[in-house]
Each structure stands twice: as C-alpha cells, then as structure tokens.
Amino acid sequence: MPHIKYLYLLFTVCILSFQMASAQTWPREKLLWKKYNESQGKPEAQVESLIHLMKYYYKGMGDTQKGDSVTVLCLDIANSHRDNDLILAAYEMYFKFGARVSDRSTVDGYIESVKNLEPVPIWHLNYFASTAYFIDWEFTKAQEYALKSVEIAKSENDVRKQILGLMMVGSSLEKNRKIVEAMRYFFEAQNLLPEKGLLDLRTQIYSYIQRAYFYNDNFTESRKYIERQLEVYGQMEEVDSIEWLNTQYQLLELNIFTSDFYAYQDSAIALMKYSKANGYLQEYDNFWSIIRSQLMMNNDFKRIYELYVVEYPNEFKMLKKMRPLAYERIKAYLFEYEQNLDSADYQWRKVIQTLESTEDLYRISHVKRRYAQYLQRNGRNAEAYAMAQEALEDSKKANYSDFMAYNLKMLADMDEVDENYKQALAYTKLHDSIMIDKILRSQSTDLAVLDQKTEYEQKEKIRQFEEERKRTQTFYNYMALIASLFVFIVVSSIVYRQYRLTRKEKERSENLLLNILPQETAEELKEKGTTSAKKFDNVTVFFCDIVSFTKIAEKLSPEELVKEIDTYFREFDEIMKRHDLEKIKTIGDAYMAAGGLHSGDDDSALNVTRAAFDVLDKIEELREVREQSNRPAFQVRVGINTGAVVAGVVGSTKFQYDIWGDAVNTAARMEQNSEPGKINASKSTYERIKNEFNCTYRGYKEAKNKGEIEMYFVDKT
C-alpha cells in the first residue's frame, strides 16, 4: 500500500510537470515550483510551498484544473505523514480559495474526509460547512455554521479561529443585506486582533470593513481602511502580491467612483501590465474589467478601439479566451466605432441570446440596457424603447433595484423626448420611489437607526391598543348574548364605552399623525384619505451631522449609543418647534429640518439660521455637562440652503413626510463641506440673511455631483 501511495504522488507530480511544460509559465509560478522542488524531504516545507501554489492557481490565475491538482498533491503529502496540522492547513487553503471554483461534489468529498480524521476537528468541520453553504448562496445556513465555529473557537481560546469565524458571519450577513449586523461582527473581529502579529488576518478584516463602507457610499471610511491595509503591508517581511494587487484594485475603484476615471486610467493600465507580467491573470482581468466598464459607461468607443486594436491587440485575443461574452460585447462596440452597424447589431443579439440561455437575469438586464442605449445612439428609438422595457422587466424579476432605477430613468428620458409626459412622469415617480427607499434603507455608517426604533415603538403601541379594544368588544358582545334580560343596559354600556374608546383612539391617532406629518398635510390626509405633493419656492433646508460619529460609536454599546443620540435629537426637536420649523427626518447620525413649508412664511432663512445657532449653543452646553461626568460629547457640522422644493408623503402603509429637489441636495453638500461647530450657507441663503448676520465668504468649493459652489460661514453676531 505505501508503494501505491508514493506511485500516485509521483503520477500527480508528473501530471503537473506536463501541464507546466505544455503551457506558458510565469515568474511567480516558476519561483513557487522552485521552492517546492527545494523542499523535497521536508514535509512541512513541501506543504507550505504547495499551499502558496494553491492560492496562486485558484486566486491569482483562476486555473481550477491546476489548483485542484496541487490540492490533491498537497493533501497526499500531508496524509502520507499522518500529520493532522498539515492536512488541516491544506484544507483551510482549499476552502478559502479552491472551494469557490471547484464542483460541489469535490467540496462535499473533502468535508467527508475531514470528518474521518482522528480526533474529529469540530471547528474546521463547522467552518468548512459554512464556506460550502456560502458558495451555494445559502447565507443563513452559512451564518449558522459560522456562529458555531466562533463558539467553538472561544471555548478553545483560539483568537485566530474566532476572527475567521466572525468574518464569515459578517460576510453572510452582508450578503443578506444586513449591513449594520455585518459591521458589528467585522468590528468584533477587528477588536480581537493583537497589537502585533496576525498581519494577514488584519488586512482581511480591513478589506471586509472597507468593502461594506464602499458599497454603502461611505467613501471616507472606505478610504481610511484601504490606507490601513497599505500600512500593514509596509510592516510585512514578505508581501503577498495577490492581496496587494486586490488592495490596489479597491483603491483604484474608490478613486474612480469619487473622481474621474481618466485621471486614473494610466494607473489602471500599469497595474494591469504588472499583473499579467507576473502571471496574476485574475487580477489582470479585474483591472481590464474596470477599464472596459468605465469606457463603456462614457461611450468612449474611440479609446476602446485604441486599446484593443492599436495598443494591446494581444490583450483582445486573451480576452476571447478568458471572458468570451465580454469579448463579444467589445466587438459590438468596435463595429459601432467603425460604423459597421449590421455587424454590431448581430453581436449584440448574439450576446443576449447566449445570456438568455443561462437565465442570469442580472447580466441579461444589464446587457439589454446597453443594447437599448446602442439602438438609441443610432436613431432606432422605437426598438430602443422596447428593449429598455425588456431590461426593466428582467431587472424586476431579478429584484435588482439599482438596475430597475437605471432602466426607469432611461425610459422616462425617452418618453420626455417624445413629449409623452404622462408616461415619463409615471416612470420618474417609480424611479424616485426606488431611490427614496434606497436612501431610507441606507446604512452607510455603523449607525443606530433611531427612526426605525421610534416607528417600531409607535406601531407596537397601536397594535397593543387595537388588541385591547378587540378584547373589550368581544367581552361585551358575549355578555349581551348570554344576558338578554339586560340587553338595554349592556348595549348602552357598550355604546358608551365604545364612544370613549373611539374618542381616545381618535385622539391618539391624531397625535401620532401630527408627530409624523405637518398639521396641514395631516388635515388633508384625514379629509381626503390621500395627500398631494406641493411645491414651495422659498424653503430653507437645514442639515447637521455628528462629527467622528463612527469613532464615538465604537466606544459605546448599542443601547448607550441610542440613548446619547436620542438626548441630542430631542433637544434639536425642541429647537425646531421653537422656531416654527418642520423636522423632516433623521438618517443615522444626520438630522434634517426645513423652514418655509407653511404658507406665508417668508423668513425661513432667518428662522433656520437662528435655529442653527441654537443647535450649536445646545451642543456646547451638553459638551460642558458631559465632560464633567466623563461622558462622550458630540460636535456637529451644519449646512443650510434656500430654494424650491417639492414636499409630500411617501408610502401608503408607513407614512413619511419628505422633501425633494436640488435645494435639498445642495443643503446636504453645504453640510458635507462645513466644519465642526460651523454653519455653512449657500449664496441663496446668504442673500436672505446678510442684513442680519455677518458672513465670511469662503469662495467656490467643490461639491460632490454639483461642481463648484459659492459658500459662506455664518458668524455669530
């Protein structure tokens, strides 16, 4: 039997050698095989070098065949020496990278093999099962097994295993779109890190956290954690090139989202070249993908032609091998650039037909929208409209809200061009409702969502009251049936009690409604059952945001955090009432209000400015009290802007009064460009308050998605 095992090992090595001899090899690949050859006779060194090769093939090259072959060789060497530590180290690397690309039967087979080890490695079994469920998109099951692995690691007092389990729990929650909960586990994992050591896990945790921030549009925090990753690489004796390239990709993606792609185009190409030169074909493909997607978004077909036809024709051939569908789409753009529209049209339909056979609704919707844009660019508006409608239906089936919003916006624009304003308005309303829902559900910080807590408490009170009313009603109805002799007395009692209950219920309902909606809107809702949106031309919008909220939040329990924010926001509510302003909503640690939503209110800018100074005074007052008792104190930035808005009620079962318009967006940019303890006003507000308040001109400042805007700091008189 031992001879058969060694013959099998020799056969596996020969197969790998043949694969390398018959294919292109890369500098990193050669170096790793050289280290393996030099480690002969040293099992630990052999397994370590093969583990690096597994990661290289699975993660760096995306070569499943070679990765699986190396995995078999690595496990056979570890098993031949009956060393469980080596065996489990090999399995860990496989489940981290290989399981994501291997077939499920191989994954299940390896899990069964782990079960047969003596003693049974319980932590590894749960962690590997979690990985298997995660790959199959069964995120709830993945979370369940990951939590078990965390508990086992705690009982073993193994920090490394705890961190791995916590990251898996967080990733599963993130995939289920439970961002706040996911962040809690990521931060818990981060808090377990020792002052020194575990640098590889430290970069992984930072990567998870920055990704969560990035996908929730908190680019400031995302950049902070990318910079931390890069700092950790500087502390390492040997940097893992694959992880370094992934971090560079994350940084590039962030820079492009927050700036201009063309400013970073050369960096993307340089990283792409480096990846290919060293054989990191997965990273090479990632950098090409972001270059392609940005050029396609910008309809820059000339640059696509230059890159693939003139400058890097070999890369176009490589794309055909690695990403055939992407290759076909690029051909469509090249044909369009060359004005060979028949061929371009054929390419688009070929790609769509191929995708429809896969039932991948996400990609089908995306490509149909791109095809609709192609048709629109070439004057085929009716076909473009029909294709955009197909894209919308596919995005609805996939339940992918971002694509639904893109498609609705495209259809609305086309209807507006055709002067079909009624349909354009209908599409615009659907688009806006998706965007509003996204804003309301946005969890772009590790926030305490006070509005949701308040809403839950209000609903619970209504539910309890309703149950109490029903119980009372049932009781008296029953008494009326069994005591017919006293019908008149019982009925009178029911009527009287019902009157009291109805009056009490009405009072509570009206109070609750007035707590959510302005009085004028509430009266309209009670009278008509619906409300209509209204335009106000002279509204001043107030935004404030807590400075360094994330750092403070990390030091407090969720209960303490909610209590602290509630204390501040209650004070803000009183200030808004005092100045006859309308509180609109809170989003995490941000507070929004407005003046000028009442008829005849011409002093909205002055009233909001006075309220803003009262807020800053209250913040200072609370700071002094809290510092004396060694409690956390907040600072805020304030931004105000005056202009036209549309106000109305969103929803039919969960009312929310809100305002929309460019004035709201500009007010938000004023706050983002403000400073702690300062009030940053736009020019439109300045013109209305300059006779009563001294203002310091700040000049033109860059505002996200707005360009340069004139800004003023309002000085306290």
CB atoms within 10 A of CB 578: 12
CA distance 92 to 101: 15
Judged against a pLDDT cut of 50, whether residue 12 lies above it is answered with no
Average pLDDT over residues 92-103: 76
Domain assignment of residue 401, yes or no: no
Confidence of residue 130 (pLDDT cuts 50, 70, 90): confident
Q: At 561, which CATH number?
A: 3.30.70.1230
- Same domain for 564 and 471, yes or no, is no
- Same domain for 552 and 506, yes or no, is no
Q: Which residue, 516, 548, 573, sits at the end of a domain?
A: 516
Mean pLDDT (the chain) is 80
- Same domain for 629 and 564, yes or no, is yes
Does residue 341 sit in helix, strand or coil? helix
Of 116-125, 277-286, 517-526, 557-566, where does mean pLDDT reach its minimum? 517-526
- Same domain for 496 and 547, yes or no, is no
Question: 68-72, 187-191, 284-288 — which one is most confidently predicted on average?
Answer: 187-191
- Same domain for 685 and 555, yes or no, is yes
Average pLDDT over residues 179-188: 86
Average pLDDT over residues 457-483: 59
Confidence of residue 606 (pLDDT cuts 50, 70, 90): very high
Among 199, 198, 196, 220, smallest CA distance to 209 is for 220
Confidence of residue 503 (pLDDT cuts 50, 70, 90): low
- Same domain for 483 and 615, yes or no, is no
Question: 17-26, 344-353, 684-693 — which one is most confidently predicted on average?
Answer: 684-693
- Same domain for 493 and 537, yes or no, is no
Judged against a pLDDT cut of 80, whether residue 491 lies above it is answered with no
- Same domain for 584 and 491, yes or no, is no
- Same domain for 545 and 618, yes or no, is yes
Judged against a pLDDT cut of 70, whether residue 651 lies above it is answered with no
Judged against a pLDDT cut of 60, whether residue 260 lies above it is answered with yes
Domain assignment of residue 390, yes or no: no
pLDDT confidence of residue 298: 81
- Same domain for 570 and 474, yes or no, is no
Say how many domains are in the chain: 2
Judged against a pLDDT cut of 70, whether residue 522 lies above it is answered with no
Judged against a pLDDT cut of 80, whether residue 122 lies above it is answered with yes
Q: Which residue has the tokens 């370590």?
A: 48
Domain assignment of residue 124, yes or no: no
CA distance 640 to 363: 41
CA distance 294 to 483: 79
Judged against a pLDDT cut of 90, whether residue 697 lies above it is answered with yes
- Same domain for 551 and 700, yes or no, is yes
Q: Which residue, 463, 486, 516, sits at the end of a domain?
A: 516
Average pLDDT over residues 367-396: 88
What is the full DSSP assignment across 630-692?
Answer: T-----EEEEEEEEEEEEEEE-SSS-EEEEESHHHHHHHHHHHT--TT-EEEEHHHHHHHTTT
Cα 601 to chain centroid distance, Å, stands at 39
Average pLDDT over residues 645-670: 82
- Environment class of residue 388 by beta-carbon count within 10 Å: exposed (0-12), middle (13-18) or buried (19+)? buried
Confidence of residue 250 (pLDDT cuts 50, 70, 90): confident
What is the full DSSP assignment across 529-571?
Answer: SS---EEEEEEEEEEEEETTHHHHHHTS-HHHHHHHHHHHHHH
CA distance 30 to 14: 16
Among 714, 685, 687, 713, smallest CA distance to 699 is for 713
Judged against a pLDDT cut of 60, whether residue 452 lies above it is answered with no
Cα 615 to chain centroid distance, Å, stands at 31
pLDDT confidence of residue 516: 55
Does residue 308 sit in helix, strand or coil? helix
Domain assignment of residue 227, yes or no: no
Domain assignment of residue 694, yes or no: yes
Average pLDDT over residues 17-30: 57
Confidence of residue 572 (pLDDT cuts 50, 70, 90): very high
pLDDT confidence of residue 17: 44
For the entire predicted model, the pTM comes to 0.53
Domain assignment of residue 382, yes or no: no
Name which residue leads in pLDDT, 450 or 511.
Answer: 511
Q: What percent of the chain has pLDDT over 90?
A: 15
Domain assignment of residue 667, yes or no: yes
pLDDT confidence of residue 19: 43
Average pLDDT over residues 55-75: 80
Q: Which residue, 481, 516, 551, sits at the end of a domain?
A: 516
Q: What domain range includes position 601?
A: 531-715
Confidence of residue 256 (pLDDT cuts 50, 70, 90): confident
Domain assignment of residue 150, yes or no: no
- Same domain for 550 and 484, yes or no, is no
Average pLDDT over residues 546-556: 81
Question: 207-221, 283-297, 470-484, 564-578 — which one is most confidently predicted on average?
Answer: 564-578
Judged against a pLDDT cut of 50, whether residue 4 lies above it is answered with no
pLDDT confidence of residue 302: 87
Name which residue leads in pLDDT, 647 or 523.
Answer: 647
